[in-house]
Amino acid sequence: MIVYLDNSATTRPRDEVIDVMNNMLKIDYGNPSSLHRMGLEAEKKVESSRQIIADFLRVRKDEIFFTSGGTESNNIAIQGLINKNSRAGKHIITTEIEHSSVLNIFKAYEQRGYDITYLNVDEYGFIDIEQLENSIREDTIVVSIMLVNNEIGTIQNLKQIKKIISKKNNNVKLHIDGVQAFGKIKVDIKDLGIDTFSFSGHKIHGPKGVGGLYVRKDVNLDPIVFGGNQERGIRSGTENVPGIVGLGKAVEILRDNFTQEKEKILSLKKYFASSIQEKIDNIKMNSLLDNRSAPHILNISFIGVKGEVLLHYLERFNIFVSTGSACSSHKKGKSHVLKAINLKDQLIDGTVRFSFAYSNTKEELDFALDKLIESVNEIRKITMR
Amino acid sequence: MDRVISISLGELTLKGKNRSYFEKSVVKHIKNAVKDLGAPKVYKDLGKVFVEVNENNIETLIKRLKKVFGIVLISPCIRTDKDIEEIKKASIAAVKEAMEKNNVSTFKVQTKRADKKFPIKSMEINRQIGGTILRNFESLKVDVHDPNLYVNVDIRNKCYIYTDKIRTYGGLPVGTNGKGLLLLSGGIDSPVAGFMIAKRGVAIDAVYYHSYPFTSERADEKVKELAKILSRYCGKIRLHSINILNIQREINQKCPEDELTIITRRFMMRIAERIANQNGHDVLITGESLGQVASQTIKSINVTNSSVNIPILRPLIGMDKTQIIEISKDIETYETSILPYEDCCTVFLPKHPVTKPKIKDIEESELALNVGELIEFAINNMEIIEIEP
């Protein structure tokens, strides 16, 4: 049995997704920009995917742009917004718990002389609303916030955030990194007045290397990718047609099963969390278990255990988890998110992230739980003196 | 006009009666290093070794040959028959090529006649070729003291014209000086140590200790990759991979915390010695450098030594880190070495390791362990991987 509990890192594409992609690669391989019939067919498929995604997000079809994934979407949106509005000011705001694809853009702009505010978060990962209110100035042009944190699952209160931004400076553009939220929680992009929203295919059982960006109709971006004007100039380059069609298929299935799958994932998370609480001592839950946290992410610190060691213990039983976030696992430094929520170093070292998918079963979790208890006990026995 | 690479063998030629043994060995290594490049012909011509090349693979060939120990100089040459008109033509071509690569305004012709029967004397060849070059390249002048370009004419059974000398690592052909077992970790030092000893003609195998599942499979891959890079210099390497978690666990539970590292190192030495004895390795090789970490103080090294009888070579012992890093960058192991994965030495890291251990104390602590059984278990579960260049 393979128990894959690393669904925040990536997900297994659904079989239907693989089938349509296969078809696009083998048969309908036309370039949407070609004038002939094969090009037209490809274009129709891309547009149909765009429609599915727009409907799912309840936005207009011409507000959806395809990209290579979350990182590129964040880059296009944030840089595009800053560059377009740089005459209005050089102050930009983000949080200290963003994904590196956002933080590194801010760092780059910091070097170019922009003034940056990094919002602090509390022990659960919620941003300091008061600090946000006090930070917004006349020359603030962009605020970028991730809706669901990829390491601990915290869902920011966007309604409140948007209200404060509008009150203080209505010209500020709001970018939302929605990669971990997309397909996991309901997002009212229109109601919330979000300007740009990024999402990715491989987090929702679609393919890797494809994602998208919502850009509100009346929002202008300076492009950062130049070429043949595909995606109306926002992201030039021949479209990843198989990827886009696969993403459309993934969203279509998700749309039909959203509530049911979400409920299932949430109940798996709650079951796993409470079982661990019951059976393993000396742990700390870093994810909330109520509706302020995403249904698929469960972050726990095991005292006296190194997260990486636990990960390798579990992989021997074909149980796959993550320490902190997968994207930062190649770096030696400790997770900036766990530091930001003020977790002690010793706890950070022992942190593991379990993330669930619709396809996980209770049997899998019981097996994982068994091996988890066994591994934690053994590691503690070896390392604690 | 054919293209060949001429190869000069440095200290080998001083080996007296053993010279042909060393030469044969280096030729074998040269053939091995280039065999997948369309099996170019390797031949000797009056004491020098030559490799035939075609234009397309000359860069790759040079890169490979640079890594063969025992070679000191490599020169891409134009080969002609021993005919003065041919030599003139080749010289013009060689100068033209050199001028395309570098700024050249002055030159000097140097002729060597390994074949003393060639009717034209060296000085006369210099004069004739020099005159030809002057006539063909108006911008060039002769400078016999400090020219930009040396045009070398080397007369053997064939004639070779070249303008470039590429210095290589030198050393002795691998395998001419016995066999060693390298304690290879994922760090910066041990691959450099292996390189340095291989360069002295020692054939290298390696042993690698890990603590899976305390360490990751990526760390394994990293060590394999390091062995692979090393194998491009020293040929095929047998990598012995040994899990010492069991041993570390026992030490952690039964011995004083501050002695963890030193006792673990003694186990590593003992296991390595066993492998060496079984496989005919004459020495162990480590990347230790004096004072770098607690287990590398002079007292710690003595305590480590006392666990085995086999000689241990420590080529980096007097080097500092920047020197070692410089070599590791040069031999292309550095980028791999700095990949950050847990290794077995950091799994159980005492807060205050002993820096001045006494043999007597350590031996006493080890009484709590069943040393023989632990080593037996580790060796029985050993994995051996053949690493080819």
Q: What is the DSSP string of A261-295?
A: HHHHHHHHHHHHHHHHHHH-SSEEE-S-SSTTB-T
Judge whether B183 is annotated as a binding position. Answer: yes
Disruptive mutation site among A305, A306, A309 for chain B (greatest number of B CBs within 10 Å): A309
Is the domain of B138 the same as that of B211?
no
Q: Same domain, yes or no, for B208 and B327?
A: yes
Pairing of β B71-80 and β A173-177? unpaired
Answer yes or no: do A242 and A98 share one domain: yes
**Cβ neighbours of B347 in A, within 8 Å:** 309
Measure in Å the smallest separation between the Cα of B216 and chain A Cα atoms: 7
pLDDT value at B348 more than 80: no
Rounded to the nearest angstrom, the minimum Cα separation between A369 and chain B is 18
Nearest CA in chain A to B257: A385
Chain A touched by B213 (CB under 8 Å)? yes
Nearest to A382 among B215, B249, B340 (CB): B249
Gap from B259 CA to chain A (nearest CA, Å):
14
Report yes or no: B372 at the A interface, CB cutoff 8 Å. no
Of A253, A270, A286, the residue at which a domain comes to its end is: A253
Q: Is B287 annotated as a binding residue?
A: yes
Contact A331/B340, CB-based, under 8 Å? yes
Which chain A positions have a beta carbon within 8 Å of B216's beta carbon? 308, 312
State the pairing for strand pair B141-142/B106-113.
parallel
Same domain, A237 and A264: no
Percent of chain B with pLDDT over 90: 77
To the question of whether residue B156 is assigned a binding role by annotation, the answer is no
Contacts of B252 in chain A (CB under 8 A): 382-383, 385
CATH at residue B222: 3.40.50.620
Which among B213, B252, B347 is the nearest to A385, CB-wise? B252
pLDDT-derived band at B345 (thresholds 50, 70, 90) equals low
Residues A243 and A340 in one domain: no
Which chain A residue is nearest to residue B216, measuring alpha carbons?
Answer: A312
- The minimal CB distance from A308 to the residues B249, B253, B342 is found for B342
B206 and B163 co-located in one domain: no
For chain A, the domain total comes to 2
| Nearest-CA distance A347 → chain B (Å) | 17
CATH of the domain at A353: 3.90.1150.10
pLDDT, position B57: 83
Last residue of a domain, one of B167, B194, B223: B167
**Chain A residue closest in CA terms to B249:** A382
Are B184 and B305 in a shared domain? Answer: yes
Between the alpha carbon of residue B172 and those of residues A120, B10, B175, B286, B290, the distances in Å are 62, 9, 9, 20, 26
| Dist CA A125 CA A148 (whole Å) | 10
Same domain membership, residue A343 and residue A203: no
CB contact burial B106-122 (16+ within 10 A = b; e otherwise): ebbbebebeeeebeeeb
pLDDT of residue A385: 64
Same domain, B161 and B183: no
* B125 plus B261 within the same structural domain: no
Question: Is the Cβ pair A330, B340 closer than 8 Å?
Answer: yes
Quick one: pLDDT at residue B346?
Answer: 63
Residues in chain A within 8 Å Cβ distance of B214: 306, 309, 312
Are residues B60 and B161 located together in one domain of the fold?
yes
Give the residue on A whose Cα is nearest the Cα of B214.
Answer: A309
pLDDT at B20: 83
Q: What is the mean pLDDT of residues B32-47?
A: 87
Number of domains comprising chain B? 2
Q: Per DSSP, what are the bridge partners of residue A115?
A: A91
Structural domain span for residue A20: 15-253
- Final residue belonging to a domain, choices A227, A253, A279: A253
* Boundaries of domain holding B288: 179-387
Rounded Cα distance between A244 and A206, Å, is: 9
Same domain, A57 and A173: yes
Q: Which of B167, B191, B218 is the last residue of a domain?
A: B167
Whether residue B174 is contained in a domain is answered as no
A218, A253, A288 — which closes off a domain?
Answer: A253
Q: Is residue A95 located within the same domain as residue A222?
A: yes
Neighboring chain B residues of A312 at a CB cutoff of 8 Å: 212-217
Annotated binding residue at B208?
A: yes
> pLDDT tens across B55-89, in order?
788 888 999 999 999 999 999 999 999 999 999 99
Q: Which residues of chain A have pLDDT under 50?
A: 325-330
Region for residue A323 given its phi and psi (left: phi exceeds 0; alpha: psi -120 to 50; beta: otherwise): beta
**How many Cβ pairs closer than 8 A exist between chain A and B?**
27
Assign 3-state DSSP to chain A and report helix, strand, coil percentages, each to 5. 45, 15, 35
Res. B388: pLDDT tops 70: yes
Distance from CA of residue A246 to its chain's centroid?
18
- Would you say the C-alpha torsion B75, B81, B83, B89 has a positive or negative sign? negative
| Strands of A160-318, DSSP E | 173-177, 196-200, 211-215, 283-285, 297-302
Considering only alpha carbons, which residue of chain A is nearest residue B343?
A309
Q: How far is CA A42 from the centre of its chain?
A: 28
Is A309 close to B249, i.e. CB distance below 8 A? no
Same domain, B156 and B216: no
Same domain, A189 and A286: no
Which residue bears the tokens 């979350």?
A: A70
Contact B215 A312 (CB under 8 A): yes
DSSP, collapsed to helix, strand or coil, labels residue B207 as: strand
pLDDT given for residue A326 in this prediction: 45
Name every chain B residue with its beta carbon within 8 A of the beta carbon of A316. Answer: 213
Q: Tell the burial category of B367 from Cβ atoms under 10 Å away from its Cβ (0-12, 13-18, 19+).
A: exposed
Q: How many residues does chain A have?
A: 385
Which is catalytic among the residues A88, A327, A336, A359? A327
pLDDT of residue B23: 86
pLDDT (0 to 100) of residue B322: 95
Rounded to an integer, the average pLDDT of B189-194 is: 97
> Is B209 known to sit in a ligand binding site?
yes
Same domain, A285 and A306: yes
Q: Which residue of A has its CA nearest to B344?
A: A309
CA distance B261 to A274: 39
Evaluate whether residue B224 is within a structural domain. Answer: yes
* Dist. CA B136–CA A295, nearest whole Å: 81
pLDDT at residue A327, as a whole number = 42
Chain B partners within 8 Å of A318 (Cβ)? none
- pLDDT of the residue at B347: 65
Residue A239 shares a structural domain with residue A293 = no
Chain A residues bordering chain B (beta-carbon distance below 8 Å): 306, 308-309, 312-313, 315-316, 330-332, 382-383, 385
Closest by Cβ to A312, choosing from B214, B249, B348: B214
Give the CATH number, domain containing residue B12. 3.30.2130.30
Collect all residues of chain A within an 8 Å Cβ-Cβ radius of residue B253.
Answer: 382
pLDDT exceeds cutoff 70 at B268 = yes
Q: Closest Cα of chain A to B14: distance in Å?
A: 50
Assess if residue B219 is contained within a domain. Answer: yes
Shortest Cα distance from A330 to chain B (angstroms)?
Answer: 7
- Between residues A83 and B15, which one has the greater pLDDT? A83
d(CA B294, CA B299): 10
CATH number for position A87: 3.40.640.10
**Residue A327 designated active-site:** yes
Q: Same domain, yes or no, for A186 and A327?
A: no
| Predicted pLDDT at B50 | 95
Q: Of B132, B167, B202, at which residue does a domain stop?
A: B167
Q: Is residue B261 included in any domain, yes or no?
A: yes
B37 is in an annotated binding site: no
* Residues A161/A121, Cβ–Cβ less than 8 Å: no
